[in-house]
């Protein structure tokens, strides 16, 4: 099973939306091992409502916390500790889209960061970038961290409108492949997810074997 870990350059950059798009495009399964903040429902519930294909499966979280906090802090609030030993990917035949919590270096506990999940489950990392003041710095720092630590960076997704100068600064300086450019989407729905799934550069992904 091929695994893709979806992370972002920060919070609220559109990881869940991009995860739904990739799940649709690849007819993949979806898993968010750690969910923080459940007042408006879980990201698993949201993604399952956005995906149209009938092949994808949506697996339960390993850890689920009600407060929208960093995982280590949310766990501490409930007198729990997140253990990497419990982060075991579900079995299946489809590709697996794994959504992280927050950015790469959000702590899980006293020893591990969110990005360590990708290493543990041997997943390629897809980094979601969004255009805001400071996004060039955040993008390049994130990419640099991944490359310096020899983590498997699959590529980036540009989510929303990017000024050409901002886009080129990220792509050219980092020399990474762009998996998709998602325009600014007013309404996140099944229809928009299906439409944007056509923007994924499928040539960058292993194609299913035909019989």
Q: Which two tokens stand for residue 142?
A: 């994130």
Which position among 15, 27, 32, 77 bears the catalytic label?
32
Per DSSP, the residues of 77-128 read HTT----GGG--PPP-SS-EEEEEEEETT-BSSSS-BTHHHHHHTT-EEEEE
Tens-place pLDDT, residues 181-198: 999 998 999 999 999 999
Question: Which CATH code is given to the segment(s) 3-204?
Answer: 3.40.50.300
Query: Is 110 among the residues known to form the active site?
Result: no
Q: Sheet containing 96-103: which strands, arranged edge to edge?
A: 58-59, 29-31, 96-103, 3-8, 124-130, 153-159, 178-182
The model's pTM is 0.95
Tens-place pLDDT, residues 20-68: 999 999 999 999 999 999 888 899 999 999 999 999 999 999 999 999 9
Rounded average pLDDT over 158-174: 94
Q: Where exactly are the structural domains of the chain?
A: 3-204
């Amino acid at each position: 099973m091929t695994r893709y870990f979806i992370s972002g350059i920060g919070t609220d950059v559109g990881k869940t939306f991009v995860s739904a798009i990739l799940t649709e495009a690849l007819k993949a399964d979806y898993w968010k091992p750690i969910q923080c903040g459940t007042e408006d429902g879980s990201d698993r519930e949201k993604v399952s409502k956005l995906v149209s294909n009938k092949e994808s499966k949506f697996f339960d979280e390993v850890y689920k916390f009600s407060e929208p906090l960093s995982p280590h802090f949310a766990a501490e609030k409930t007198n729990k500790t997140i253990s990497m030993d419990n982060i075991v990917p579900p079995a299946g035949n489809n590709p697996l889209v794994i959504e992280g919590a927050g950015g790469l270096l959000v702590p899980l506990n006293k020893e591990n960061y969110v990005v360590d999940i990708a290493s543990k489950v041997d997943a390629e990392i897809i980094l979601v970038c969004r255009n805001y003041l400071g996004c060039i710095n955040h993008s390049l720092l994130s990419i640099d961290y991944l490359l310096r630590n020899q983590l498997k960076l699959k590529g980036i997704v540009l989510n929303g409108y990017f000024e050409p100068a901002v886009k080129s600064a990220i792509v050219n300086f980092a020399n990474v492949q762009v998996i998709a450019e998602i325009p600014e989407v007013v309404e996140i729905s099944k229809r928009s997810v299906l439409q944007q799934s056509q923007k994924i550069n499928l040539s960058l992904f292993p194609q299913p074997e035909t019989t």
